[in-house]
Amino acid sequence: MVSSTIILVLCLVAFTAIHSLMEGLPFKRLLVRVLGSRADRLYMPVFSLIAVLTILPLAYLLYKNPGRVLYKIPSPWRWLMVGGQLSTGNGFTG
């Protein structure tokens, strides 16, 4: 359990570091120097692709190791809570 938590934290740290590095102005300037005018056209698709590829291991680990259930709400109240979440625009039902 501890090792999977450490791996999850390391995946999240790696994702945020890569994401922050690529989002910064110095990285964008480097791309413009290296790629020229193509950088403007390629930046967002490549940025999005790298973001997806770096978050996939984290999503996979969370799927395989969901952790323990903290609480369960019985059926009539659960659906009332789901309806409340949907009415506020938060469609996440956990």
Q: How does pLDDT run across 73-83, given as a tens digit for each residue?
A: 898 899 998 88
The SS3 of residue 70 is: coil
How sure is the predictor about 63, in pLDDT bands with cuts at 50, 70 and 90? confident
Question: Which two structure tokens, joined as six digits, stand for 67?
Answer: 């952790």
- Quick check: 91 pLDDT over 70? no
17: closest CA among 54, 57, 48? 54
Among the listed ranges 50-54, 60-64, 90-94, which one has the minimum average pLDDT value? 90-94
Q: Is the pTM of this model over 0.85?
A: no
What does the pLDDT average to over 26-54?
Answer: 87
Task: List Cα–Cα distances, 76 to 26, 71, 72, in angstroms.
Answer: 54, 15, 12
- The alpha carbon dihedral of 45, 49, 52, 54 has a sign of negative
The separation between CA 87 and the C-alpha centre of its own chain, rounded to angstroms, equals 24
Domain residue spans in the chain? 2-87
